[in-house]
């Protein structure tokens, strides 16, 4: 049985605009993360992936083999990003922008190799993030100057 207050909130959702629904989603996500009920890292990364591909496929609708590839490869990108840019842990907007940046770099690499772009090909190539980044930005990590990438993105 749904509580009356919850029922009232749910009944309002269908009449909200897309922008208002996005605001509600952000607020709910923040509440869930701050309460510890949900780990937002991989959910946010999946949103970045589908956003970069300009598609909307709920995670639950991915084929089972994609779930296995996602579970294996998504943490590689998140860990790489956190190790390379610790500042991205401070804000959702910066974090999302860097995730999309890394995903787009992988997509560009696949396109250059004439690999058809799909959710599956991107997910199965996520583990290559470090290699692709180092090819696009040689010696940035060794020199400790990866922060200039975030600064350049902030200026846009």
User: Residue 28, CB half-sphere, CA atoms under 13 Å: how many?
Assistant: 8
The reported pLDDT for the residue numbered 18 is 76
pTM for this model (two decimals): 0.70
Q: Residue 37 has what pLDDT?
A: 46
Whether 26 and 44 map to the same domain: the answer is no
The answer to whether 12 and 5 are in contact (CB under 8 A) is no
| Total domains present in the chain | 2
Same domain, 17 and 44: no
Are 99 and 141 within one domain? yes
The helix, strand and coil proportions of the chain, stated in percent and rounded to the nearest 5, come to 80, 0, 20
Which pLDDT score is estimated for 90? 65
Residues 132 and 98 in one domain: yes
Same domain assignment for residues 116 and 143? yes
| Distance in angstroms (rounded) separating the CA atoms of residues 125 and 107 | 9
Asked if 100 and 150 count as a contact pair (C-beta separation under 8 A), the reply is no
CA 12-17-18 angle, 5° bins: 120
Domain co-membership, 34 together with 53 = no
Closest CA to 122 of 34, 39, 38, 62: 62
Q: Are residues 61 and 21 in the same domain?
A: no
Instruction: Based on the fold, state whether residues 61 and 23 are members of the same structural domain.
Output: no
Where in the sequence is the domain holding 1, given as residue range(s)?
1-38
87 with 151, same domain: the answer is yes
Same domain, 33 and 66: no
Per-residue pLDDT 10s for the chain (156 aa) are 668 788 888 888 889 887 787 677 766 656 655 554 445 567 888 889 998 999 988 888 888 888 899 989 999 998 998 888 887 666 778 888 889 999 999 999 999 999 999 999 999 999 999 999 999 999 999 998 988 888 887 776
Residue 38 confidence (pLDDT): 42
Is the domain of 91 the same as that of 14?
Answer: no
18 and 28 together in one domain: yes
């Amino acid at each position: 049985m749904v509580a009356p207050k919850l029922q009232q909130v749910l009944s309002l959702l269908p009449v909200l605009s897309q922008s208002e629904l996005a605001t509600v989603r952000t607020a709910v996500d923040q509440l869930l993360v701050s309460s510890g009920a949900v780990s937002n890292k991989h959910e946010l990364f999946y949103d970045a992936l589908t956003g970069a591909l300009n598609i909307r496929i709920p995670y639950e609708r991915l084929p089972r083999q994609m779930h296995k590839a996602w579970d294996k490869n998504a943490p590689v990108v998140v860990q790489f990003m956190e190790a390379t840019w610790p500042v991205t842990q401070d804000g959702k907007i910066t974090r999302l922008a860097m995730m999309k940046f890394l995903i787009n770099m992988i997509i560009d690499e696949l396109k250059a190799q004439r690999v058809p772009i799909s959710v599956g090909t991107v997910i199965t190539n996520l583990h290559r993030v470090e290699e692709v980044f180092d090819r696009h930005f040689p010696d940035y990590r060794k020199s400790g100057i990866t922060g200039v990438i975030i600064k350049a993105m902030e200026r846009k």
